[in-house]
Amino acid sequence: MGGVDRTGEEGRGAPVGRRVVLGLLGLGAVGVAAGPYLQRAESGLAERDPSGLSGLLPGNNGFRYYSVVSSVPERSAADYTLSVDGMVERPATFRLPDLRAMPQRRLVRDVQCVTGWRVPDTPFEGVPLAHLLDAAGVRPGAGAVRFSCFDGAYTESLTLAQARRDDVLVALRMRDNPISHTHGGPVRLYVAPMYFYKSAKWLSGITVTGSVEPGYWERDGYDVDAWVGRSNGRDDAPTG
């Protein structure tokens, strides 16, 4: 079903873009009327971004900030840990230097949010998720992977076959820099062939499961198989 425009990010996720647009139009009062959730999200961002314009600044290349919670505690490079557990032979916890020492892959693709905004040719770099799964040793009977985040709320999931694709990364770098807190650093998931909601920010856990457990927006009607142009009500011609 095409429920993404009735519920979902635009309704609840309080993208910065909306506040910025309201502000630019001089319609701040409309923002106040938009409800407590939006207000909380706005003040959370104001702490992070005193300019209040990150969603539209040219320096931000058209990205919009999304978080389903009002504020996310920063995790420094020194404090960061990523656990890999569930149906694996060797559960493990990795720190940033561990991840940096693993094979890295750099991809340059378009970022596409399901709500319509798009950022062309965006470099992401990190450890192929398949490498981490192989290191952990996926047990027989496993069929999916669930991702959790240190914002304490967001979740995502992939089938095991999707998770093993070579264009799915545990990303340490974005636009050839460390991933900023705003963009989900120090480590976020990057699922290149799917809408950007699959690319969970503030990644803290990778759990191998028997079958897919739909993620945060997927419980709200978004497609689990979120191929760009071929999901969420789109059926664009294949781009190859």
Ligand X SMILES: Nc1nc2c(c(=O)[nH]1)N[C@H]1C(S)=C(S)[C@@H](COP(=O)(O)O)O[C@H]1N2
Contact status: 184 vs ligand X (CB under 6 A): yes
One residue of 4, 14, 41, 113 binding Mo ion per CB under 5 A: 113
Contact status: 154 vs Mo ion (CB under 5 A): no
Burial of residue 84 (number of CB atoms within 10 Å: 0-12, 13-18, 19+): buried
* Residue showing the smallest CB distance to ligand X in the complex: 154
Segment 81 to 120, residues that bind ligand X, using CB under 6 A:
113
One residue of 151, 186, 187, 190 binding ligand X per CB under 6 A: 151
Contact status: 80 vs Mo ion (CB under 5 A): no
Tokens of 205: 């856990």
Maximum distance among all Cα pairs of the chain, rounded to whole angstroms? 58
One residue of 145, 154, 172, 190 binding ligand X per CB under 6 A: 154
Contact status: 200 vs ligand X (CB under 6 A): yes
Contact status: 175 vs ligand X (CB under 6 A): no
Phi, psi of 28 (to 5 degrees): -55, -35
Nearest Cα neighbor of 144 from 90, 221, 215, 229 is 215
List the single partner that 154 binds among Mo ion, ligand X, none, CB under 5 to 8 Å by kind.
Answer: ligand X
Bridge partners (DSSP) of residue 177 are 174
For 182, residues 6+ apart whose C-beta sits below 8 A from its C-beta are: 48, 49, 54, 65
For 9, residues 6+ apart whose C-beta sits below 8 A from its C-beta are: 15, 66, 113, 114, 115, 197, 217
Nearer to Mo ion among residue 89 and residue 236 (C-beta):
236
**Quick one: which segment of 42-50, 102-110, 159-167, 198-206 binds ligand X (CB under 6 A)?**
198-206
For helices 36-48 and 16-24, what crossing angle results, to 10°? 90
One residue of 38, 82, 149, 228 binding ligand X per CB under 6 A: 149
**For the chain, how far is it from start to end, CA to CA, in angstroms?**
25
Contact status: 189 vs Mo ion (CB under 5 A): no
Nearer to ligand X among residue 80 and residue 197 (C-beta):
197
- Cβ 25 to ligand X, closest distance in Å? 22
Contact status: 173 vs ligand X (CB under 6 A): no
Nearer to ligand X among residue 61 and residue 211 (C-beta):
61
Residue 57 carries which DSSP code? -
Bridge partners (DSSP) of residue 109 are 122
Contact footprint for Mo ion (CB under 5 A):
113, 196-197
